[in-house]
Amino acid sequence: MEQTILTDDQYADLSKKIIHALERKYKIVPLNSLRHPRYFLRSPVYVALEFTDDQVIASLDDIEAFCCANTEFEATSQLCEEIVQIYEDLMEDQATLAPLPRKWLAYLKETIGCK
């Protein structure tokens, strides 16, 4: 098998093409607000967006939360609602949480503040 050696310019061009192809399918964006009257984010959280042919999937991997919608705005808005719901559910059941949900709650307690 013959090995192809790229010049610096060819490598830079290939890198740009790969990044461009990935940016059309995936994006990481900061979420600065939960868009909720009772809660706020102490600092931004980073949300992954995946673009399929007809949907946008927004996810927060730190708590394994995700939502699908037709637009980026709808997906992130639904994800905000999901984050709040998970936080409230975990707060209600703190005494009986298994190890993984306990880690999620610890993360959310550091991330979310009450107004």
Confidence of residue 1 (pLDDT cuts 50, 70, 90): low
Kindly report the pTM of this predicted structure: 0.80
Non-local (6+) Cβ contacts of 105 within 8 A are: 87, 90, 91, 94, 97
CB 32 within 8 A of CB 111: no
23-33 per-position pLDDT tens digit? 678 999 999 99
48-105 per-position pLDDT tens digit? 999 998 999 999 999 999 999 999 999 999 999 999 999 999 999 999 999 999 999 9
